[in-house]
Structure 1
Amino acid sequence: MKHLYFLAICLFSTFSSQAKQANPELTALAQQYFNTMVATQAPNATNKELEAFLALLTDDVANQHLPYQTDDSREPDGKAMMRKGMTFYLGAHTEYQANLLDTFIFNDSAIALRYTHHAKGIHPQNQQEIEYTQTIMDVLEIEDGKIAVIRKYHE
């Protein structure tokens, strides 16, 4: 009986550890996404950091940032639209800090990253000072090794 119990524990441990091992390519993509996204928010961010981030995306990427952007449609010029929007805000922060809290990998099709971030700066549109601290969940849908949909949720 002790041997069966021991065998059951060993089998459970083996299957449990295998279940926790995520797709290594998506794990690397998740870390690369987070690092490049954070780099685009830095006070000294340039087009170089922006292009490194955009290289991870499909050309028709959808970007949904609730509650501000509710449309999650993929458009042929999705990446170009993101480039335009992100360029407008590039370098707007005087301070930016982010801390990755959790990464979840869902088979070969999705990644979720939960992180906190703090930003301070000048809003480029109205020249008003901004400062915020938030916890965010980015859910990324993956297609052919690239990010096809980004959904941002605030806690």
Structure 2
Amino acid sequence: MMKKFISVLFFFLFSFSSHGKDNYTPEQLIDKAKAFVAAKNARQQPNTTIKEIENYISLLSDDFIDEHVKFKFTYTDKAKLREDMINKLKDEVIHSSIEVNEIMVGANVVFVKMTESGKVKPSHIDKTIEYSKTNIVSLEFDKSGLVKHIRRHHG
């Protein structure tokens, strides 16, 4: 299963690298991916404010697609995304962290394998949830350097 997934990743990397004149360098893409992960991590901390949410949203293009593949759910509306993130501020976050395990780069696309872990008590339930999952996220960037498509492959 993992070999098949890696093969698909390489296919995407090479297919994306065959077109597009305004490609970012691998170093630029890695920096953009790290900035995205840092912003994602900052928006789910015990002391997160609307400022961190706005910083995260500022990395997205106006016509972004945020696709949660496993759950067959997609965001395309910044106002709805902002509203949902602000509502999550009601949750009690005990701790949350993201560790980048690996980064693969193609033409204007980055694949990030990361382990997300945390302990959260959602405001709408009476129990605390602890999690640690390794996920793969692809980030496609537009010509202005903003994220235009996120594909989340949850572990």
TM-score (norm 2): 0.75
User: Do structure 1's residue 29 and structure 2's residue 28 form an aligned pair?
Assistant: no
The count of residues paired between Structure 1 and Structure 2 equals 129
Counterpart CA distance in 2 for 1:137 and 1:91 is 27
Q: 1:44 corresponds to which residue?
A: 47
3-state SS of paired residue (2:32): helix
Give the Å deviation of 1:106: 0.9
Q: Of 57, 60, 71, which aligns to 1:57?
A: 60
Please say which of residues 80-89 and 45-54 is displaced more in the overlay: 80-89
User: Do structure 1's residue 116 and structure 2's residue 119 form an aligned pair?
Assistant: no
Counterpart CA distance in 1 for 2:100 and 2:34 is 9
Root-mean-square deviation over aligned CA pairs: 1.8
3-state SS of paired residue (2:97): strand
Give the Å deviation of 1:91: 5.8
* Higher RCO (C-alpha under 8 Å, 6+ residues apart): 2
Give the Å deviation of 1:90: 2.7
Q: 1:18 corresponds to which residue?
A: none
Give the Å deviation of 1:85: 1.6
Cα pair 2:118 2:132 within 8 Å, conserved: yes
Could you list the runs of 5+ residues in structure 2 that have no partner in the other structure?
Answer: 1-24
Give the Å deviation of 1:50: 0.8
Counterpart CA distance in 1 for 2:67 and 2:120 is 23
Cα pair 2:113 2:134 within 8 Å, conserved: yes
TM-score (norm 1): 0.75
Moved over 6 A (4+): none
Counterpart CA distance in 1 for 2:33 and 2:81 is 19
3-state SS of paired residue (2:43): helix
3-state SS of paired residue (1:41): coil
Give the Å deviation of 1:66: 3.0
- Larger gyration radius, structure 1 or structure 2: 1
Q: 1:152 corresponds to which residue?
A: 152
Q: 1:130 corresponds to which residue?
A: 129
Give the Å deviation of 1:36: 0.8
Could you list the runs of 5+ residues in structure 1 that have no partner in the other structure?
Answer: 1-21
Counterpart CA distance in 2 for 1:106 and 1:134 is 24
Give the letter for the 2:128 counterpart. E
Give the letter for the 1:149 counterpart. H
